[in-house]
Structure 1
Amino acid sequence: MITRRTKVQLVIFAIITLLGVSFVGARYAKLDRLVLDRTYTVTAHYPQSGGIFTGAEVTYRGVGIGTVGDLVLTEEGVDVKLDIENQWDKIPRDTIALVGNRSAVGEQYVELQPQTDDGPYLVDGSEIDDVATPIATEELLGNMSATVGSVDRDALRTTVTELGLAFAGTGEDLQKIIDTGNSFIKTAEDNFDVTTALIRDSNTVLEGQLASESSLRTFADQMSLFTSAMAGADADLRKLIDTGSFAATQLRTFLEQNGVELSELFANMVTTGEITVRHLPAIEQVLVVYPYAVLGAFVTVGKKNKEDGGSGFWDAHFGMIMHEGPLCHAGYSTTRRNPQTDREDLPLPNVGCKERIDQSNPRGSQNLRRVSPFPGAGEPVIVGYDIETGEIGWDVAQAPESARGNVAPPSLGADSWKWLYLQPMLDH
């Protein structure tokens, strides 16, 4: 016999069970929305429905956040109402509403794919214009059929046959390629941060290239001119290439046969070059004055025909211009003779003109103006000669290194570029 206490427990259990089943059923059937609205509505404008239906799930980053409401036909397509739960209020407005297929059966749903993480966010009444729908099955099958029908069967048969011949017996090689590809992908994943940094930093390089656009354009133009000149000289270049090996062989034979003589010749040329360098200003002066001397020779010696009033013989015309400069006094007054007691010639040591060249008319080769290869070098000396022994000596004092340096001497003037090949001879 059931006691009264047991009956009360059974009644309470039945009531609790009924309430639980009712609550779960109401939540599953979403009957609570008939009483309490806990969603906000967003409208997505589609050119076509893409198979979406009322009650389909709405997801955000793979998480269900609501359901599809009413579908409203418009002149532009279909407006789909998306009922999103209020707790999902941080969905950016910059979002794509994609209609996707959950399975091969064709169960559609709406996936919201945000393009940014920042606001503004969707609210009740917001609209989404950036939408996408899957390709219709009939359209996909039609396109595939058209693609397959456009392929030439004979060409396809030839392609398959050639591929079979190409890959026949290459299973191990293909396996190595696949394995290497996996290793490459693994290495790329391990260096993902380095790759992204490289891509990000490449923007700096590209900006530098953009800033050098004019220089690159000039380089391209000059390279075009160079290649055009090379193309114009194609025949000469071909001839040079054809005959270059023969000339190189002859040059090598010449060097092998005359190696010792050439070394001596080059050594002597270095000495000659040193002497020439030391007297380079004087040589330059001779080259400047020589044309005037030749011109004066044509004026001095000439022939005038009788028809022109001349004698018909070669005539030489000479003239002398006498100009006596100021006399030099300094240097002659240091030694005096006493006519009362001295009757013989007395030695006159250190007697001579002591004045500067530009103040009087000094005589003697010692007063000749000389050019020097660099200031303060004095008389340039390359080779020494001993009068007593009659031998030539090469160990002579050279100009101080401080006077030479790596800078072209002022005496070269506008031809200072010559110092590039003259200095090695001086340093030899």
Structure 2
Amino acid sequence: MRLNKRIRVQLAVFAVVSLVAALVMSIGFMEVPARVFGIGQYRVTIALPSTGGLYPSGNVTYRGLGVGRVVDVRMTDTGIEADLSLNSDVSIPAEVTARVHSRSAIGEQYVELTPLADARGVALRDGDVIGIDRTGVPVDIDTILDETNRGLSAIPADNLRTVIDESATAFGGLGPDLARLVRASTKLASGAKADLRALTTLIDESAPVLDTQSDTAGEIRAWASQLAGITGQLAQRDTAVRRLIGDGAATAGEVRQLFERLQPSLPIMLANLAGVAELAVTYQAGVRQVLVLVPQAIAVLGSSLVPGMGVMSAYKGPFVTFDLNLNVPPPCLTGFLPPSQQRSPAFEDYPDRPAGDLYCRVPQDSPFNVRGARNLPCVNKPGKRAPTARMCNSDEEYVPLNDGFNWKGDPNATMSGQGIPQVDTAAPAPATPPESTPQAAPASLTPPATSQTDDVPIAFASYNPADGSYVGPDGNVYALTNLAEHRPEQTWQSMLAAEG
């Protein structure tokens, strides 16, 4: 068969077109040079914990753009390694993450390369390895299905409809709220992504905290069990709890009224208790000893009733033995005012107390008045005993007036030069009394001329309770006008006359 020239030309043109089409298909679509000869390609290896459904010839993308393909997936001693063939004309930073994703529902997997936030200018090169700490695979669908099945199995079949109905009731009509929640969650996730490194550090360093929770799992279970018991008891006493809640408002109102009534006096009482509390703290040891001895003292007093138990007697009562001792030991007069300065018990007025301390001022080892003020222990200075708090807190030591024998002379006449009463030289001087306008007083109350000296510790003044007039320390006559009105003196005539 002979071919003419026209047919030969047509065959030649067809052959050229076929060759060009084959070259275009091989180079442009099939990427034969890159696949077979590796031209324009470089290889990178990624380490994966599992395949995640990845297979050879899978696509590789960078920022959503295809930059290569998966050429091999193999198993190693530590996990899975996949070789990626990437295009040389695309510069990819070396600090990237490689994650396996699913492109469709049929399981078409691909590798997505994502640069880190602080990725630098160094690009990937042939032979680089992306570590397992920067790779990830999707959750196995079998694991998801197993966990879902296990969760649904925990719900009894009879109560499944109840769960669905209650879920519909709980979330029904909450579409806008759920949408707002999703948008807020998206913003939260975006903000968390900006601080991803800090969050990962927090997660990595939270292991000790989680370990403490694991170590105290028994205590947590016990607490939960006890809480369940409390809530169960509340459920059993629902009526009482409802009544308590209903009456709580009225009770709270009464408590509020109580505090309002106490408001004027409560701060004053608490302010006054501050000094008492300070003294209680100072004398804490003594208060503790009293609290220990009081029960024993009560028991001792109760023992007086023991002898009369079960005894038929016309007189019921405790059995107490009294020993009458006269002048054993003799009374202590040293340190007190002499008889010439002592006041009669018949006086009914109440003058100012002497400007000093009156107590038994004999040696501390004297057999007289051994429980006197001179032997009081100093709380702030163990081992020291003094009659006053000022002497306890100072370096001054107690000095007796004499050896304790009252008949050796006048207690005021001592060799130590101390006065009676013992004046506190460290105490501040008394404040000057405010000036007051003298009011008229009867002439009969004019003070007589006296020759009192500053050495007399106690001063006397005439006072008329009928009109409130008195003689001041300066010799002037004053009158108190804020006293209650006294009733007129009653006589036998007033008893017979009618009031009015």
Report TM bin, short chain.
0.3 to 0.5
TM-score, with length taken from structure 1 = 0.41
TM-score, with length taken from structure 2 = 0.36
Q: Tell me which protein shows more helix as a share of its residues.
A: 1
Higher relative contact order (CA 8 A, sep 6+): 1
